[in-house]
Amino acid sequence: MEQGGNDIAKKMGIVALLLFGVYVLCMYWYIFHGGDGTIPQALKGTVADPAMFMSERELYLSGEYSKIRNFLFFVATPFEWLVYLVILLMGLSRYFEKVSTAQTKWKLVQNAAYLFLLSIVLYVVLYPIEYYRFYLSKSYGISTQGFSSWMRDGVIDFWVNFGMTFLIVSVLYWLIRKSTKRWWLFAWLLTIPFTIFVMFIQPVVIDPLYNDFYPLKNKELETKILTLAEQAQIPAEHVYEVNMAEKTNALNAYVTGVGSNSRIVLWDTTLNRLSDNEILFIMAHEMGHYVEKHIYFGIAGYLLLTLIGLWLTSKCMKWLITRYGHILKIIKISDIHSLPLFLLITSILLFASSPLSNYISRYQETRADQYAISLMGDQASAVTAFQKLTKSGLSEVNPQLLVKWFRYTHPPMLERIYKVAEKEGQKKEAPIKEEQKK
């Protein structure tokens, strides 16, 4: 029986590899040959046309860089699924549990040992992809981070994720052992306070592990931002900046945290390369999210998707273990070595739901843009801010449909620039190209 299960596992593994290979070829054709994201004729020569504010070299690098990143995204996610499947089919997960349980009788220590072994394997197997992403970003001038600094962030990531995963998995499998039928509901109920807690501590505990945060040095700009926040009836006392220039050339600003730990944060790259009015527009955009309560809608949407996802995961795990448990080397769902199956199913569900969640996010971003224009009344600064954001990150302004569905939480820059320019009836023809275009 054991030998028969191993033979089927080998066949299943081979079929999975073949399907993955076919998928990779299909995605390669789609990304590199299935459409070039050309600018609609009606938008050529407008402020939204990247040819009007990017040099020929920047346009070339943007197209090349975007295609590689998009291909990597669509390949890396299913590759991770394949890794989970292989770990199960080879019996590695069950072996890790045997090793961990042989060392101690303490359940929490067993969980920690099992998770450490699994995490190390995943880190090693997925490391080449993560390193290539780093190398790619460096090659195209986006990242300024040294290898040692990147590795340091990777090690921090490993231990932060390990700690949070250990807490979640220990509670999760305790619930499964207590109630094999309703564990998904109890897990979801605990997700609510846990999500809020993580959002509360993120700005003051987790984020400072990676970068230094300090009050905005430019007090004149801080006064302008706080005045803008007062106009929007947003309680804010401080604006923070973060030292990102040593890691990236990209620009960003955001609002993070909840309650008393909420923060307005500006990257120093943004402060160094945007004008005050452009920064104020970005801040007004972030304030739009606050005013329209997008963070709370986001939490509600996340919790709803989590509820559906956990319920579907429980049904899928039960069915798969009943039907293919002998092949996947899983005896019962309450054994921690079923974790790769849990991760596999949840990852697939998360990927499948991303077009919907991204669509909602894009709608909210559009609303925030509209709010910022209404608050600032300065569409010219909005246009130039978006143009500089595009240039700094070599962003793809008009992605292919699947790329937009699965990757874009913000509207493509082509849409954002044209809409904010159109909002107040700004002349759509672009000004003379920048000096670098000459």
Catalytically active residues, by annotation:
286
| Closest C-alpha to 203, from 251, 152, 260 | 260
Q: Which DSSP state fits 140?
A: T
* Long-range contacts, stretch 23-26, CB < 8 angstroms, 24+ apart: 23/78, 24/75
Q: Are 241 and 265 in contact (CB under 8 A)?
A: yes
Q: Which DSSP state fits 40?
A: P
| Closest C-alpha to 49, from 354, 419, 397, 305 | 397
Paired tokens of 136 = 């790619």
The pair phi, psi for residue 35, each rounded to 5°, is 160, 140
Paired tokens of 401 = 């449909």
Q: Are 265 and 213 in contact (CB under 8 A)?
A: yes
Find where tokens 């199960």 sit: 88
| Closest C-alpha to 149, from 137, 161, 164 | 137
Q: Are 273 and 281 in contact (CB under 8 A)?
A: no
Q: How far is CA 406 from the centre of its chain?
A: 11
DSSP bridge partners of 214: 241
**Cα dihedral 120, 310, 361, 348 in deg (nearest 10):** 50
Q: Which DSSP state fits 236?
A: -
**Cα dihedral 253, 53, 245, 251 in deg (nearest 10):** 10
Paired tokens of 2 = 């054991």
The pair phi, psi for residue 240, each rounded to 5°, is -110, 150
The pair phi, psi for residue 412, each rounded to 5°, is -55, 150
Q: Are 215 and 239 in contact (CB under 8 A)?
A: yes
Q: How far apart are CA 307 and CA 185, in angstroms?
A: 7
Amino acid at 219: K
Amino acid at 305: L
Q: How far apart are CA 40 and CA 277, in angstroms?
A: 29
